[in-house]
Chain A
Amino acid sequence: MTLFGYILRRLIGTIPVMLVVAVFIFLMLRLTPSDPAAIIAGDNANAEQVAKIRQQLGLDQPMLTQFFIWFGKVLTGDFGESFFFKKTVAALIAERIEPTLSLSLFTIVLAVLIAVPLGVLAAHRQGTWVDRLVMGFAVLGFSVPAFVIGYIFIYVFAIWLNWLPVQGYQRISEGLGGWALRLVLPALTLSVIYVALIARMTRTSVLEVLSEDYVRTARAKGQVERKVMFRHALRNAAVPIVTVIGLGVALLIGGVVVTESLYTIPGLGRLTVDAVLARDYPTIQAVILLFSFVYVMINLAVDLIYTLLDPRIRY
């Protein structure tokens, strides 16, 4: 089978997945006891006003009808209008994408820059205190919740040392410096769990490669250790590392929600929490669909990179 055929097949395979997501999210929202109409109507509204709003939103229609109306529109790319904000869901999401994307990319870059050297170091010094320290940190990073880390960082770096801003986001268009400055703390916070994951993975895969024959041969041939590490071990360890970055996207998405609420970054994570609290069905549906889609696509991309990096893997 050709690569193209493989991609096509995988792409088609995502359709039922996304369908399941859509049905599940829709059902979950409709089966809840909450009532967006009552929330929109405000604190002093009476039952009649609430009923009227419910009608305007189309929430009085049978569930199946609602689903097909919504889903039909989604297929044409129309995610509807938010129940709350006088905006289309698409517009809401569009203005929230930049902060989330910035935060995620910043985090991944930061995490890889910190984690890969740490992992290689640990593998290189396997069994020594360096190795134990790095691995200890990795388990710790996995165990301390991001918001606790966030508070510690805010306290130390923003309030005590006064090096960085405590909150907020600045768009890239308003200046690259301010953008980066405001992202440092959130990205550091978010990257902790990621560093833990990647460092562990890097160590394991480097160790595995180090024990393989060709590396042993290289070593036996008297190549300098550092050279062996970089030329052979790390390059071959790239495959599992890429995988783990892909797997970590789910983690990242979860972390974004917490980090964005902590640092008041107006991204998709906060939009999700706000929308859920406000029972803004169209927005919740769209955001979850979007996140799921991204997740599926990234996994697909990772699989592709996997096949490209390691020709031994067949598709």
Chain B
Amino acid sequence: MAAGATSAPQGVSRPPSAVAMALRHPGVIVGGIVVLVVVLMGLLAPLLGTIDPSSINPAARNRVPGAEFTMRTDTGERIRMTALFGTDSLGRDIYSRTIYGARVSLLVGVAVASLSVLIGLAIGLVAGFFRWLDAVVMRIMDGLMAIPAILLAIAMVSLFRAGVLTVILAIVVPEIPRVVRLVRSIVLSVREEPYVEAAVTLGTPTGKLLWRHVLPNTIAPLIVQGTFICASAILVEAILSFLGIGVPPEVPTWGNIMAEGRQVFSLYPHNIIYPGIFLAVTILAVNVLGDGLRDTLDPKMAKRV
């Protein structure tokens, strides 16, 4: 189909080869494997020797990694446990919280990436195709983009009730304009392709036009963009939690564990170190994956940054 499209990524025109290429790229392989491990870790958290990540134990606060402590189960039984990563100031097990923390971090990352890509795609398609809407929509997007993302997220999260959903939305809103711009630029260049112009003159319905000719061209760049959004969302979630305005603190997220530990950092650095490592490795993996995908699926973009 979009054989001669200048901005059409090769990924769409020759899907098998591009995908195969991507799968051979070391960044994609390494990043992908690490991300997969983290996903599995989150999914299988209950099976990895964890205890309830929010069960508190005031008698066993601030234990250093490797310390043993006694836990009382709901049935009144006393069991001895080893806190592999230590405990926090409520006596919660950092190991369990860190493993479970993968769930929220990934959920936020994936949800933000998919939501901003989907919403951005919809707005971008509309803006790119309907000239009369374009000006209005793009002015609004410019305005949104002018507000520094972190400030916007901070304001939104702390002013509305803090929850996972609020955090996701607060990170999505500032990401949307960036996606819209990307999609719109693709739409505009595709529109100028002779075969699309031909289709327009032939009176092809707009919906069909968008679906058949425009949409396929956006897939590869959006996958790449989505990966980077995912990495940045995980980071922003951690920053919000760290500033004390993110997901409710009892929810185990890497940012929350670190925020909880920052007050006693000099005495008990384990609260920051362990989740910090998991956070950094995950974001690193997603970024490496994104770099690899961009190099292979969207070489045009690779040249740009």
Report A-B touching, CB under 8 Å. yes
Whether A121 is near chain B, meaning CB under 8 Å from some CB there, is no
Using C-beta atoms within 8 Å of the partner chain, give the interface range for chain A.
35 or more
Residues of A with C-beta under 8 A to B147: 21, 24-25, 288, 291-292, 295
CB distance A277 to B266 under 8 Å?
Answer: no
Alpha-carbon separation in the docked complex, A194 to B276 (Å): 20
Interface residues of A (CB under 8 A from B): 16-21, 24-25, 28-29, 32-34, 139-140, 142-148, 151, 155, 159, 200-201, 204, 208, 250, 253-254, 257-258, 261, 272-273, 276-277, 279, 284, 287-288, 291-293, 295-296
CB distance A276 to B158 under 8 Å?
Answer: yes
Residues of A with C-beta under 8 A to B238: 145
Residues of B with C-beta under 8 A to A142: 231, 283, 287
Question: Of B154, B283, B303, which is within 8 A of A257 by CB?
Answer: B154
Whether B48 is near chain A, meaning CB under 8 Å from some CB there, is no
CB distance A143 to B280 under 8 Å?
Answer: yes
Alpha-carbon separation in the docked complex, A284 to B243 (Å): 17
CB distance B231 to A18 under 8 Å?
Answer: no
Interface residues of B (CB under 8 A from A): 139-140, 142-144, 146-152, 154-156, 158-161, 231, 235, 238-239, 242-243, 245, 258, 262, 265-266, 269, 272, 276, 279-281, 283-284, 287-288, 291, 303, 305
Residues of B with C-beta under 8 A to A19: 143
Kindly report which residue of chain B lies nearest to residue A139, judged by CB atoms.
Answer: B287
Residues of B with C-beta under 8 A to A148: 258, 272, 276, 279-280
Kindly report which residue of chain A lies nearest to residue B269, judged by CB atoms.
Answer: A155
Known: A21-B143, A254-B149. 8 other contacts (CB 8 A): A20-B144, A143-B235, A145-B280, A204-B305, A284-B155, A287-B151, A293-B146, A296-B146
Question: Of B144, B245, B262, B288, which is within 8 A of A151 by CB?
Answer: B262
A-B pair number, CB within 8 angstroms: 134
Kindly report which residue of chain A lies nearest to residue B244, judged by CB atoms.
Answer: A277
Name the prevailing secondary structure of the A interface residues: helix
Q: A20-B142, A143-B284, A148-B272 are in contact. Are A254 and B158 (CB under 8 A)?
A: no
CB distance B139 to A17 under 8 Å?
Answer: yes
Question: Of B140, B148, B242, B291, which is within 8 A of A254 by CB?
Answer: B148
Kindly report which residue of chain A lies nearest to residue B242, judged by CB atoms.
Answer: A147
Kindly report which residue of chain B lies nearest to residue A285, judged by CB atoms.
Answer: B155
